[in-house]
Structure 1
Amino acid sequence: MHFAKPLSPTGRSARLLISCASALLVLGVTAATPAIAADSVSYTFESSSQKLPFMALKGAGRIVVGPAPGGRSGKAARVNIPNDGRSFKSELVIKGLDAGTHRFSFANYLPGDWQKQDFDTLVAQWFSTQDDSARIKPVVALAIHGGDWRLKVHWMSGGRIQERIIPLGAARLGHWNQWTFTITWSSPNTPGAITVARDGVNVGSHQGANNYHRGQPPHFRIGAYRPGWRPEKGPRLRAGASEAVLFVDDIAITSTAPGSASGPLPKTTDGAASPPRATALSPGSASTGSPTASPSAKIGTAASGGTPSAAAVAAADGTTPGTTKGDGSALPDTGSTGLIVVAAAGVAALTGGAFLLIRRRNATLSPRRAAHRP
């Protein structure tokens, strides 16, 4: 029977050198690969194998995936709430988001026969999970009221809920709207920020408290919700109203850095992208009116069906991911190349040190080996 010959001290040192160098190279390459945040997700409704978010349905409302209307390619989610005296909510619920800054992008479509009513239909809302079961208003909500879009922001002050309503322009029926919300949640000691873009044009903003600062960070809900249709509100707002039917598509949530741009650059009259203007968010809210129309084709992450990487998001924003010093000033970002160079330098240093150790060991062992020769 043959047994493996034990490695000499030199062989063991060489194997150790190779193992350490390989590990350092793997570490460098791994660190050089940009990671996607765990709470960055997207839903395009194109694949039947993709698991949809949790559906919050009250009454006989439904959310069904089918052909997209309005000349849009592919599929979309059809949302409806029938006027039957008990239905008032049909929403997709996405939880698990952290308390940092996120970009929420989605498209929605109001059919040409959408009935304009003098009450709110919430088509997207950010709801703060509470420690108790008390009913409370969402901290942020996108609503259609009559024929206009509006943003509603709520926060707690002096034990009471405060509200600010921000007009976002007139709604266009039979038109796909591409929305982008960039939200930094406030904390008890720091203000938050919200910017809203529709079809590539900034239409509103808010800076200040935007959270109740209770429980978990707000989670995202999209679809249709008519608070005035809750059964306990009675039939007044249901009288003469038709069912609510709208469509939702291309949902993408991306964890990003505070202060990132809210969406695509505004368009000039010739259709070219204009450079962003340096605007400071004043306390309270701002509205910049109605945006221009955008193509109905799917855009953004939905085109590829994937989730954008942090590097891709930064490139789209015109920002560069990096680190900061203790005083808050930015350090130069070396990126993937810098990490690989550092890893290679570490391998070289390790190789040189191991080589010197091997030579010293061999020099020490040589007299002993000579003394034992016959």
Structure 2
Amino acid sequence: MPLAIRLSPAGRPARLFTACTGALLIAGLTAGSPAAAADSVSYDFESPSQKLPFMAINGFGRVLVGPAPGGRPGQAARVNIPNDGRSFKSELVIKGLDAGSHRFGFANYLPGDWQERDLDTIVAQWFSTQDDGGGIKPVVALSVHGGNWQLKVHWMSNGEIQESVIPLGAARPGHWNRWTFDITWSSAGKPGSIRVTRDGVTVGSHQGANNYHRGEPPHFRIGAYRPNWRPEKGPEKRVGASEAVLFIDDIAITSTTAGSGPDVRATTPGGAASPSASPAPSTGPTPTGSPSTSPTARAGEAPAGGDTAPGETAHEVRTDATARGGAGRIGVVGSAVVGAAALAGGAFVLLRRRHAKGSTRSAHRRART
């Protein structure tokens, strides 16, 4: 209906220019809005103006943002699980990823007083939600066990969960590790792949089935999780153990082309690990290194549980940055704003010309009379 309103020659340009300016602002704000389920996300923990993913905890664990340790500049997230007989998990949860190929990058740091235990502390896991909501092991999990890093990969065969354990080299407390995981998820008829680098060096890989091929695509969890600290495991697993404390920083998840990987150098002598060359994809899982493969998990390890295990709550961390594909959105915003500005400017110039012509004709009519 606004188009049906008759305006005087003097009022029409201002009114239409205002409408074009409003369109410009709407275009800019719409283009700048993040997608509901962005497939490329990053978190650098530097800005207090944007929020982080939800934190899933069991018990009284926490994720707090503060100065990064170990001489690293800027901020980092401090994750802890207290040894209180109840707590066993404190993680950031990132969902909304598809079932294709992604590169997962992040940095983590074990304090210099990290206590070696012959039990797993999972620091990153990829978890597949199940149709029945039942508890099941993560499809991929990075953990520190004793004094070493290891990767566990799970898949289903004949109704049984299979497990491959891939050694990734010695853990170095007091050192920031930069991890990259290039993952292509397998499907029922197509093998997948995993390649792991640490500090720019390839330390492990896996070819073949790498998930359960049911339910939603695996989502990403990062933080700290001690399966053997679950209350049902009994207090003996906690005796003599200190709280679990570690730091994480620079999380970046990018959608990639299947089979692509980072530019990395070969493992140097005396490095974290000396894996063999990655074999060609096959239907049967083939990890590098010297993994053990068994139809069941190690004794004493409990399933990771569903998205919300008993006692687990989700908390929103409000003190840090979220950058969801920022560079791409900036380009979209810029293009939308420039286009809208050109439209507004053109409309204004055109209307000014029409107004000038109308004023000239009115002057001529007044002169004749």
State whether structure 2 residue 286 is matched by structure 1 residue 287: no
* SS of equivalent to 2:288: strand
| Unaligned stretches of 5+ residues in structure 1 | 5-34, 270-276, 289-303, 311-374
Q: Which amino acid aligns with 1:46?
A: E
- Tell me which residue corresponds to 1:217: 217
State whether structure 2 residue 54 is matched by structure 1 residue 54: yes
Contact 2:110 2:247 in 1 (8 A): yes
2:89 and 2:120 map into 1 onto residues whose CA distance is: 12
Task: Give 1:309 deviation, angstroms.
Answer: 6.5
- Tell me which residue corresponds to 2:110: 110
Task: Give 1:278 deviation, angstroms.
Answer: 8.4
Task: Give 1:134 deviation, angstroms.
Answer: 1.6
1:49 and 1:92 map into 2 onto residues whose CA distance is: 18
Q: How does 1:138-287 map to 2 (within 5 A)?
A: 138-261=138-261, 263-266=262-265, 280-281=279-280, 284-287=286-289
Encode CA deviations 1:143-171: one digit per residue, 9 max, x unaligned. Answer: 00000000000001000100000000000
Contact 1:252 1:307 in 2 (8 A): no
2:257 and 2:130 map into 1 onto residues whose CA distance is: 26
Q: How does 1:351-366 map to 2 (within 5 A)?
A: none
1:278 and 1:231 map into 2 onto residues whose CA distance is: 41
Task: Give 1:308 deviation, angstroms.
Answer: 7.5
Q: Which amino acid aligns with 2:286?
A: G
Consecutive aligned runs of 4 or more in structure 1 exceeding 2 Å deviation: 1-4, 277-283, 304-310
- Tell me which residue corresponds to 1:71: 71
Contact 2:279 2:286 in 1 (8 A): no
Q: Which amino acid aligns with 1:123?
A: V
Indicate how the Cα distance of structure 1 residues 309 and 257 shifts in structure 2: closer, same or farther if over 3 A, else same: farther
Contact 2:277 2:288 in 1 (8 A): no
| Unaligned stretches of 5+ residues in structure 2 | 1-5, 10-34, 269-275, 291-321, 329-369
Encode CA deviations 1:220-245: one digit per residue, 9 max, x unaligned. Answer: 00000000000011011100000000
- Tell me which residue corresponds to 1:319: none
- Tell me which residue corresponds to 1:273: none
1:232 and 1:204 map into 2 onto residues whose CA distance is: 33
* SS of equivalent to 1:232: helix
Q: How does 1:93-108 map to 2 (within 5 A)?
A: 93-108=93-108
1:148 and 1:123 map into 2 onto residues whose CA distance is: 13
Indicate how the Cα distance of structure 1 residues 118 and 278 shifts in structure 2: closer, same or farther if over 3 A, else same: closer
Encode CA deviations 1:231-277: one digit per residue, 9 max, x unaligned. Answer: 0110111000000000000000000001111x3421798xxxxxxx9
1:268 and 1:159 map into 2 onto residues whose CA distance is: 37
* SS of equivalent to 1:287: coil
- Tell me which residue corresponds to 2:41: 41
1:209 and 1:309 map into 2 onto residues whose CA distance is: 34
TM-score, normalised relative to structure 2: 0.65
Contact 2:40 2:324 in 1 (8 A): no
Indicate how the Cα distance of structure 1 residues 56 and 279 shifts in structure 2: closer, same or farther if over 3 A, else same: closer
Indicate how the Cα distance of structure 1 residues 279 and 140 shifts in structure 2: closer, same or farther if over 3 A, else same: closer
Q: Which amino acid aligns with 2:209?
A: A
Encode CA deviations 1:107-150: one digit per residue, 9 max, x unaligned. Answer: 00000000000000000000001112321000000000000000
Task: Give 1:50 deviation, angstroms.
Answer: 1.7
Indicate how the Cα distance of structure 1 residues 3 and 162 shifts in structure 2: closer, same or farther if over 3 A, else same: same
Contact 1:168 1:204 in 2 (8 A): yes
Identity, % of aligned pairs?
Answer: 72
Report the RMSD for the aligned CA atoms in angstroms.
2.9
Task: Give 1:305 deviation, angstroms.
Answer: 6.2
- Tell me which residue corresponds to 1:119: 119
Indicate how the Cα distance of structure 1 residues 254 and 240 shifts in structure 2: closer, same or farther if over 3 A, else same: same
2:112 and 2:199 map into 1 onto residues whose CA distance is: 18
1:120 and 1:278 map into 2 onto residues whose CA distance is: 27
1:3 and 1:227 map into 2 onto residues whose CA distance is: 75
1:2 and 1:221 map into 2 onto residues whose CA distance is: 59
Task: Give 1:212 deviation, angstroms.
Answer: 0.5
- Size of the aligned set, in residue pairs, is 259
Task: Give 1:281 deviation, angstroms.
Answer: 4.0
Encode CA deviations 1:77-98: one digit per residue, 9 max, x unaligned. Answer: 0000000000000000000000
Contact 2:206 2:278 in 1 (8 A): no
